[in-house]
Structure 1
Amino acid sequence: MSIFAVGINHKTAPVSVREKVAFTPDNLTHALQQMVDDLECKEAAILSTCNRTELYFVQDRPLDVVQQQIIDWLQQYHKVSSNLIAPSLYWHHDSQAVNHMMRVACGLDSLILGEPQILGQMKQAYSQAKAAGSMQVVMERLFQRTFGVAKEVRTETEIGSSAVSVAFAAVNLAKHIFANLKKSKVLLIGAGETIELVAKHLYDNQVSKITVANRTVARAENMAREIGAEVITLAQIPEHICDADIVISSTGSTLPILGKGMIEQALEKRRHRPIFMVDIAVPRDIEEQVGELEDVFLYTVDDLQGIVAQNMENRRKAAIDAEKIVGSGTDDFMAWLRGLNTQNSVVAYRNQCLGRRNELLLKAKQQLANNKDPQAVMAELATKLTNNLMHAPTRAIQQAAQGGELDKLIYLHDVFDLDSKDN
């Protein structure tokens, strides 16, 4: 019994390839059931995100056989050429598979080191496998141990505590200026990807109000609808900016949108309550002189990049400790798995011996019922039972001796305690 992890991710393939082997929530149950049936997997789970698709499963066959099976299955299931996907696949086996799965759950294999979303996606993969009936003892234990390791990494290291995106860094800075963002009003200028991320982080922090200003109102409305924001045009900024405690701007304008005079007027209307401003745009959206105003906290994209770089370095340092925790978790699980395999072997051997004993005992009872001499019956029972139990070990010793396998002979001597003084 072996554990496998097979996948394709942002490191091995572009999105044009990854999207061809992705699984949707609608087809995941069917895919899991097909894996179990077509590949004769004992257990299986599938993790499918925008950055990776990974198959985790328990199989008895050799690695080279499993590799071909998986490639053929993915080709057939997704109707995609094996020549396209095979070069992008990576393969992990047993302890490497366990270690990889735990690293993924901890964010150590993510595009952004330490990102927390992957753990939730891993938990969803676990729930879907449970619902599909493809999760049994080994995978159940592996997922639970993985979740435990991920929790320990989050608790014992700083891998997820620092902002490593410009959008997240901007919101974290705002928290330092305003202790309670729930009372803050926000003006976002622009409707691009960065502003969308900023808006999401602010929305998650339950800010009091978000207003989005953009040259094209229709584009801003699509984003604003998801976060309950108000939309205005760029021309309306002067009349609304005095209400904003936080202003974050990222447009493609070649000229500044916010000048020093506009902000001075806004401060007067606010009675000089401070404004936190972040200019993520290049060229700048906010005039450099705005930073000279006493009640303005102005940060540029360079300031944020410096923070992000330092935080990323902090995460890399934390990742060293996280890897140690993952390594320990891998060792613990593999020790449990070896114990499980040992237990299965012991049970199988015991059942074999008991089965033969019961057969011989039943025959002896029949002989006694037919008035055969009890001493003769007992002698026959003892002889046949002894011969039966001796057969496999005797054959193994003879084959090792005939083949000159000294190591195996020494091992068998130890197993059967043949050098004991009590023999």
Structure 2
Amino acid sequence: MTLLALGINHRTASVAVREQVAFTPAQLDHALAELRAMPQISEAAVLSTCNRTELYCVTDAAGEQVVLDWLSRFHQLKVEELTRCAYHYLDNEAVRHLMRVAVGLDSMVLGEPQILGQLKEAYQQAREAQGLGSELERLFQHTFAVAKQVRTETGIGKNPVSVAYAAVSMASRIFDDFGRSRALLIGAGETIELVARHLHEAGVHKLTVANRTRERAEKISAPLGGKAITLPEIPAALEEADIVISSTAAPLPILGKGMVERALKKRRHRPVFMVDIAVPRDIEPEVGELADVFLYTVDDLEEVIQENRRHRQVAADQAESLIEHGVSGWQHERRIRHGGELIRGYRRHGEALRDTARDQALERLARGEDPTKVVERLAHQLANRLMHQPTQTLRDAASQEDHALLEAAPRLLMPPKPAFEKPPAPTANRQKDDTPA
């Protein structure tokens, strides 16, 4: 079986494509069930964030095309369109890619920490959906251990340069007196929580957090002295907001052009800075056409993020080295596991032959046959049965000139030679011949 990592991310696909390929939380269980039901796939996990959608599967040799076809059908996209922006990695390269994703080396924001939490959520969801077997279970656990080592031994997590930080950094450049700005945050996930914290630390204390449930919004806004509202209250809050940052898992836009136009009239056309971090988008693209709105998406944050990448580049180089050690460790463990499986299979085969020969011998003894002959027959049959398959394989290897197998055969089939051989005992005649006259 082959380990496969297949997906798209912010470097290979536009936000318009990414939002079509993204999985909503409600879709994930169904998607995992469909993947696991396919005969070519024995294990599966799905990672879906605003910047990437990736599938990790244990498949047969044809798995790559099967998974790509399934992904296009699930999201009703032409497979040719998906192929243009998809990437795939196999076995060790898949392991290396997953580890790089886990520590933030493949993120838009180098070293951003949120992706590890998102990966752990993807692992847990796949586990609950019974999508994980021994291969992916061990891979994820090994990856989490490597990610912890990278975070502990390098400075990859220092100097906050997350998407949330980049959004706040960009907003601070728009307003002369940033601390007097009013901010409306839509959503109550980890990204919005980080945005709220960064805004508060930057001096913006007039915060409003809007969410489907007020209780969750209050958990973010209350510690920062902010206000919590529900989604239906957004139109009124828009009239006061200088900064709007949105990141939800809603399948349809929350802010439409008409809603924003009405708010701008109430604001007497004071400008509004908006950042839509969500995929699918929370803010209709047409909102960006309004004269007094500065609308940015996650793709627009790339320039800000690039400025901060250099602060983590040294740590990233150290992380790459640790990941290589992690991949080597994974390879070593996998070889040991594979060897163990071979040994267990070989022992089961030998024990089955033994049990069959024993039962046949016991039947003969029960019929009163001569015990000596029964034992001789048992030894003869058992030896023949144990040697039959290796003998046939060696004949085939010789006829096909499979030199590698023929050279390895003595180590597998022949007992090792002793370190030294005891010289033969002298015979009586030899003693007589050696006696001086």
TM-score (norm 2): 0.68
Q: Kindly report which structure 2 residues correspond to 1:12-411, keeping only aligned pairs within 5 A, or say none.
A: 12-59=12-59, 61-62=60-61, 65-164=62-161, 168=165, 186-188=179-181, 200-202=196-198, 209-210=205-206, 218-221=238-241, 311-411=308-408
Residue 111 of structure 2 contacts residue 156 of structure 2 at CA under 8 Å; is this kept in 1?
yes
Relative to structure 1, the CA distance from residue 316 to residue 83 in structure 2 (aligned partners, 3 Å threshold; closer, same or farther) is same
Q: Deviations over 1:354-381 (max 9, x none)?
A: 0111011101001000000001100111
Query: What is the total number of aligned residue pairs between the two structures?
Result: 335
What is the aligned-residue identity percentage?
36
- Deviation at residue 408 of structure 1 after TM alignment: 2.1
Q: Distance in 2 between matches of 1:171 and 1:78?
A: 33
Q: In structure 2, what is the Cα distance between the partners aligned to 1:170 and 1:89? A: 27
Q: Which amino acid aligns with 2:27?
A: N
Shift of the 224–112 alpha-carbon distance from structure 1 to 2, 3 Å rule, reads: closer
Deviation at 1:191, TM superposition (A): 7.2
**Displacement of 1:396:** 1.5
Consecutive unaligned residues in structure 1, runs of 5 or more? 173-184, 227-232, 238-248, 253-304
Residues 251/103 of structure 1: CA separation in 2 closer, same or farther (3 Å cut): closer
How far does the alpha carbon of each residue in 1:309-350 deviate from its partner, in whole angstroms, 9 at most, with x for none?
Answer: 774212111100000111111111221122111111111110
Deviates further, 328-337 or 199-208: 199-208
Distance 1:166 1:25 in 2: 21
- For residue 400 of structure 1, report the CA deviation from its aligned partner: 1.7
Query: Residue in 1 aligned with 2:7?
Result: 7
Cα separation, 1, equivalents of 2:26 and 2:410: 57
CA distance in structure 1 between the partners assigned to 2:183 and 2:416 by the alignment: 83
1:217–1:171 distance in 2 versus 1, CA, 3 Å: closer
Distance 1:10 1:410, change over 3 A: same
* Distance 1:98-1:220 versus aligned 2 partners, 3 A rule: farther
C-alpha change, 1:411 and 1:220, in structure 2 (3 Å) is: farther
Tell me how far 1:222 sits from its aligned partner: 9.5
4+ runs deviating over 6 angstroms: 169-172, 189-193, 222-226, 249-252, 305-310
Q: What is the SS of the residue equivalent to 2:6?
A: strand
Q: TM-score, normalised by structure 1?
A: 0.70
The offset of 1:418, in angstroms, is 6.4
Which string of whole-angstrom CA distances, capped at 9 and with x for unpartnered residues, describes residues 275-331 of structure 1? xxxxxxxxxxxxxxxxxxxxxxxxxxxxxx999777421211110000011111111
Paired residue secondary structure (1:42): strand
- Stretches of structure 2 that go unaligned for 5 or more consecutive residues are 170-177, 187-191, 209-235, 247-265, 275-301, 422-437
